[in-house]
Amino acid sequence: MKLKILTTSILLCLLAACAVKAYYPVPGDYYTEEGYAIIRTDSLQIAIRPQSYRGEFRDANSRFFPVWLQVRNLSKQRIILPESGFAILADERQYDYYRLEYVLNSSQDRFYFEDWHDPFVTDPQRHLNRENNLDGYYELISNYFSSSELLPGATKEGYLFFPYAVSSCDSIAIDVLGTLVFFKR
């Protein structure tokens, strides 16, 4: 009986050690709530955190370092979100996010290889797979955070995808429109 308990506890410890640890915000000049860092200015409220992509393109988590963010315009003016407003600092290196085209090309390659079939075998499931792949492709487009004009009172949310190398760092700093937000495992 003791051997079973000891074996089970060792196995659980090993599994816990191998589990991917999430990033949590370090307190700073911003609020932290439920794993999010929340920056508030006179005109914007921004919530951000590293978070696994939860859409159909699940390979995104093994190819990229996804970051989810939500930006709310609190003013009565239109605000232009700059494309260069978001970056990650990790191990004294700067990582810029990938443009949507690059992420889509990555997913498109997967869809093409997944859809390959023998031309001499007819499969009615093939058409359904192709539609599901296209749905995932369009879902990725709609879940990507685009930097553009933000209307008064409007909210934009989505994912930015950074190089996968960031995921090996124990602590990172995300530059959010000039404010550094720190995260640790």
pLDDT digits (tens, 9 = 90+) for 46-86: 999 999 998 877 678 889 999 999 999 999 999 999 988 99
Residue for token digits 């720190």? 182
pLDDT attached to residue 23: 92
pTM of the full predicted structure? 0.78
18 band by pLDDT with thresholds 50, 70 and 90:
very low
**Other CB atoms within 10 A of residue 89 CB:** 17
Contacts of 29 (CB under 8 A, 6+ apart): 179
CB atoms within 10 A of CB 50: 21
Percent of the chain with pLDDT over 70: 78
- Among 25-29, 54-58, 74-78, 126-130, name the one with the lowest average pLDDT: 126-130
Closest listed residue to residue 160, CA positions, set 179, 171, 182, 176: 176
Cα distances from 54 to residues 69, 79, 101, in angstroms, run 14, 28, 19
C-alpha–C-alpha distance, residues 167 and 164, integer Å: 6
The radius of gyration of the chain's CA atoms, rounded to the nearest angstrom, is: 20
Q: Which two tokens stand for residue 71?
A: 């930006």
Q: Over the stretch 84-97, which tens digit does the pLDDT of each residue have? A: 899 999 999 999 99
Going by C-alpha positions, the residue among 185, 184, 183 that lies closest to residue 37 is 183
Q: Which of 10-14, 66-70, 181-185 has the lowest mean pLDDT?
A: 10-14
The predicted structure's pLDDT at residue 15: 52
Classify burial at 90, counting beta carbons within 10 Å of its beta carbon; exposed 0-12, middle 13-18, buried 19 or more: buried
Give the span between the Cα atoms of 89 and 2, in whole angstroms.
Answer: 48
Q: Which of the pair, 101 or 114, is modelled with greater confidence?
A: 101
The Cα–Cα gap between 52 and 93 comes to 22
Bigger pLDDT: 13 or 171?
171
Dig out the tokens for 170 from the structure: 């124990």
